[in-house]
Structure 1
């Protein structure tokens, strides 16, 4: 348990840091961060604090979907945006297309590693992932359809509010799935907890 808790906390801190790095690269963001950035630009509230607030509001949508949050869900709401806001105070905006591309890719890798850590700790989904699985369970939509509908909506809303949509948005969509697929197995406690199949005894003869 202590190891899983530490893994969860490190993963969430790194996730927020990775999102902040992508923000400072300035070439595009994932749909939810585009939305948070758009709200931030319209309200003047820091994007990290907006991320925390959105996480809480999304959690309220779990109620009609009959979803139950876990420890990881609550920690996600409290930590990711806070880490993001703190990192933005340290990492300056990046200029120059080559540097922007390299820094953005570094942010995507950091987010993928962080996802492997906090998902692998198995303390419950983040509020956004839980929204997708809740729609799937409540209405029978396939996960991919729920994700597409929700993320397309928040991406469009974020863009209309002034969030950054660009090459980075496409790169994130293409790269994050395969990178998380690589990052998750080494940290997945459910895989470690599954006993290996017994090896049949071989008699001498």
Structure 2
């Protein structure tokens, strides 16, 4: 349990830092981060605060699809935004293109590790992942179709609000799936076997193995 909680918290912190790295690279980021970026530009609110608020709205969408959040879901919604704000505070945008590319690549790699850490802790998926898998479980729609529909809509809204869409957005879409496909199995905390196995508190029943981000 100590390892699982530590892994969850470290993973969420790294996830926020990874988001900050990709945003500061200014090459485009993930659809949800583009939405946060665009909303922050339009409202003047802090990027991290916007990220938390969007997570809360997404969690409300869990209600009609009968999803139950785990403790990891709640901490995901509360902690990633502040971690991203902290990263944006001390990370700047490189002046040279090669520096921007390296910063983005580092952020993407860290995000893949962070995803493996927090999902591998087995405390439930994040709000956005749970929305995707919840719709899949509730209606039987293919997971790829659900993800494409959700993230495509989010991307368009974020772009219209002024978020940066670029090469990094395409790189994220193409690479994050295969990357977390490596990190998730490696970092998953094994389940106990036998009579001494205790159920995880607030564990979510959604099969997170299907989650790719």
Residues 1-205 of structure 1: pairs in structure 2 closer than 5 A: 1-189=1-189, 192-193=190-191
CA-to-aligned-CA distance 1:77-135 (integer Å, 9 cap, x gap): 11101100011111112221111011100000000000000010010010000100111
Structure 1 match to 2:202:
none
> Which TM-score applies when normalising by structure 1?
0.92
Q: Is the 8 A contact 1:35 1:161 kept in 2?
A: yes
Contact map agreement 1:26 1:94 (CA 8 A) in 2: no
- Does structure 2 conserve the Cα–Cα contact (< 8 Å) formed by 1:25 and 1:95? no
- Name the CA distance, whole Å, in 2 between partners of 1:4 and 1:120: 8
Q: CA RMSD in A?
A: 1.0
The answer to which structure has the higher helix fraction is 1
Q: How many residues align?
A: 193
Q: Which runs of 4+ in 1 moved over 4 A?
A: none
User: 1:162-198 CA deviation, whole Å, 9 max, x = no partner?
Assistant: 0000000011111111111111222112xx2376xxx
Question: How big is the shift at 1:57?
Answer: 0.7
Structure 1 CA distance for aligned equivalents of residues 112 and 171 of structure 2: 13
Deviations 1:41-80 (A, max 9, x none): 0000111110111001100000001000000000001110
Residue pair 1:52, 1:77 contacting (<8 A) in 2 also: yes
How far has the Cα of 1:139 moved from its partner?
Answer: 1.7
Stretches of structure 1 that go unaligned for 5 or more consecutive residues are 196-205
Which SS does the other structure have where 2:98 is aligned? helix
| TM-score, with length taken from structure 2 | 0.88
Work out which of the two has the higher radius of gyration on C-alpha atoms and give 1 or 2. 1
Shift of 1:38: 0.5
